[in-house]
Amino acid sequence: MSFFDFIKSKVFWKHLGLIIAVFLGIIIIAYFLLNVYTRHGSEYIMPDLEGIYLDEIEQMEEIQNFEVIVMDSIFTPGENANKILSQDPNAGAKVKKGRKVYVIVTSRIGEYIPMPNCKDQSVRSAVNQLTNVGLRVGKFIFNIGDFNNVVVGQRYKGDNITEGSQIQRGEEIDLVVEMNQEKYTTAMPNIIGLTEAEAETKLWEAALNVGKITFEGKRDIIHSRVVSFSPNSSSVTKGTTVSIHLLNDTKSNYNERVKSFKVAAPASNEETLTNELIDEIE
């Protein structure tokens, strides 16, 4: 039988039909198995975990469909341990059942780290050195000299602290700053809408001390943002203590509060350098 005669035969078409049927059957079976494996259609809305403690989410019914994994912990002054700072996937995302949720939480205590060197640097550079390793600025101590905005000393609890000394993350370091008497004012940084940590860094970089911090409602280091500050002036004397007030950015009146705050013109009493801001170094 020739090839063309075989193609025309019933045997050929019967076998071809069987091959096509088996092929389609494999595709259909694979499709359904894939749907079962990926839990097709079993999507859940990811709840908002930020600001909640780990032991609290264990009681949440909506989290039973997921596996929570702690990726990292960060020491945050004023916060208790195991408070969730961020999550991945984000709240509101549609995810499959059994999805792993990676979170970053607050730690109980700060680890010990070597003290960085802030001396012979600008205020901004010194502040960055401290904040990058998790330290805070306590206060600025000014000394009149030939240079302006140059850090000449670093102190911990009143005593000098040398580079490399072990210190716990989260502690406060006082910076001794040499300044030119003719240059003692600074522009008030724009901290409206910033988080607490962002606002503190901005103030420190401008050689301003952070004063009283108040919260309208519950403190939330992720969503609490500055809506007002005092003194309210566009120009202030270096070393001025600035108090800030924060409001959760999820509140309905947040945008209105941000827009309503107007920065005032510089006060006239900033024309002279007050003796209270100068602490001569012996």
Tell me if residue 242 falls in helix, strand or coil: strand
On whether the CB atoms of residues 274 and 184 are closer than 8 A, the answer is: no
Nearest-angstrom CA–CA distance, 269 and 217: 34
Predicted confidence at residue 266, as pLDDT, reads 67
Q: Which among 72, 129, 67 has a CA at the least distance from the CA of 101? A: 67
DSSP for 58-116, please give it.
Answer: TT-GGGTTSEEEEEEEEE-TT--TTBEEEEESPTT-EEETT-EEEEEEEESSPPEEEPP
- Per the confidence metrics, is the pTM higher than 0.75? no
Nearest-angstrom CA–CA distance, 116 and 136: 12
Q: Please, which residues bridge with residue 18 across strands?
A: none
Q: Tokens in use for 134? A: 């998790």
Ordered by where they begin, the domains of the chain are 43-107 (3.30.10.20), 110-183 (3.30.10.20), 184-271 (3.30.10.20)
Nearest-angstrom CA–CA distance, 137 and 77: 13
Averages of pLDDT over runs of 10 residues in the chain (282 residues) are 64 77 84 62 81 86 86 77 86 85 84 93 96 93 88 96 93 93 83 94 96 88 91 92 94 92 67 40 36
Q: Tokens in use for 264? A: 């005032």
Summarised one tens digit per residue, pLDDT across range 227-239 is: 999 999 989 999 9
Nearest-angstrom CA–CA distance, 129 and 217: 32
Predicted confidence at residue 264, as pLDDT, reads 81
DSSP for 18-65, please give it.
Answer: HHHHHHHHHHHHHHHHHHHHTTTT-EEEPP--TT-BHHHHTT-GGGTT
Predicted confidence at residue 3, as pLDDT, reads 58
Predicted confidence at residue 282, as pLDDT, reads 36
**Count of CB atoms situated within 10 Å of the CB of 149:** 20
- What is the longest distance spanned by two Cα atoms in the chain? 115
Nearest-angstrom CA–CA distance, 5 and 253: 85
Burial of 169: CB neighbours in 10 Å, binned 0-12, 13-18, 19+: middle
Q: Which among 205, 259, 203 has a CA at the least distance from the CA of 231? A: 203
